[in-house]
Amino acid sequence: MAKFEDCLVRLDKIVQELEKGEVSLEKSLTLFEEGMKLSGACRKELEEAEGKVEILLKQNGKLQAEPFETVPESVASRK
């Protein structure tokens, strides 16, 4: 599968094309299906990266790994 950034660029183009409303129903369905697959792949890649991200804190002279806390969707959607 393509890189995450490439998927986002393609998703953006699909959304723009669908929003114009100038494509046939058949083409719209094909684009929608492609978009859903790309969205799923991006979501999976983000979830995998999220699981690997750790914040290192210095405690008692030692580095201690602490799980990265994600931003709640309600906050993220405001950006």
pLDDT for residue 48:
81
- Residue 5 pLDDT grade (very low, low, confident, very high; cuts 50, 70, 90): very high
Identify the domain containing residue 13 by its residue range: 4-76
As a whole number of angstroms, the distance between CA 22 and CA 18 comes to 7
What is the per-residue pLDDT for 8?
A: 94
Give 72 or 32, the one with higher predicted confidence: 32
Confidence at residue 56, expressed as pLDDT on a 0 to 100 scale: 45
- Rounded to 5 degrees, what are φ and ψ at 43? -60, -45
d(CA 29, CA 39) in angstroms, rounded, equals 15
Total domain count, the chain: 1
Which tens digits make up the pLDDT trace of 13-54? 999 999 999 999 999 999 999 999 999 999 998 888 777 765
